[in-house]
Amino acid sequence: MSVGILIIGHDNVGESLRDNAVKTFGAQRLPLAVVSIGRDCEPERAHAQASAMIQALDQGDGVLVLTDICGATPCNIATRLLGEGRVKIVTGVNLPMLLRVLNYADLGLERLVDKAITGGRDGIVEISDTD
């Protein structure tokens, strides 16, 4: 088994990340779903959708929820999921974070949180002129 992944993000952020990850790996390697939060989002409806996805994604090892911006609507919706089974949240999702999570989804939820954070952080690098 492996940890399920739910991305909750603004507009098409989650879909774009998912699509790029699928291109990288050739196919989805674990349960992965996206909830998109648009400008006209109804938070109760989005919460219900996310809650249903948590139930569908959890194969016994829990679900890691990745959000784009801490304190924004996607993160607030995710926070309400914390009481619904084994759920952990990491905010600030980027493609390096998602790729790391997909590579290590069999490690378990607690260790996967650490991999997500280091993957996201290690993917942020300054490129400068060497002259």
- What does the alpha-carbon distance between residue 60 and residue 63 come to, in Å, rounded to a whole number? 9
Q: Which residues, including other chains, have CB under 8 Å from residue 27's CB and lie 6 or more apart?
A: none
Whole-model pTM: value is 0.93
Q: Can you list the domains of the chain with their CATH numbers? A: 4-122 (3.40.50.510)
Q: Sign (positive/negative) of CA torsion 15, 16, 19, 20?
A: negative
Residue-level pLDDT at 131: 60
- What does the alpha-carbon distance between residue 8 and residue 75 come to, in Å, rounded to a whole number? 7
Contact indicator for 13, 73 with CB cutoff of 8 Å: no
Which amino acid appears at position 106 of this protein? D
pLDDT in tens, the chain (131 residues): 689 999 999 999 999 999 998 888 866 566 799 999 999 989 999 999 999 999 999 999 999 999 999 999 999 999 999 988 899 999 999 999 999 999 998 899 999 999 999 999 999 999 998 76
Residue-level pLDDT at 29: 61
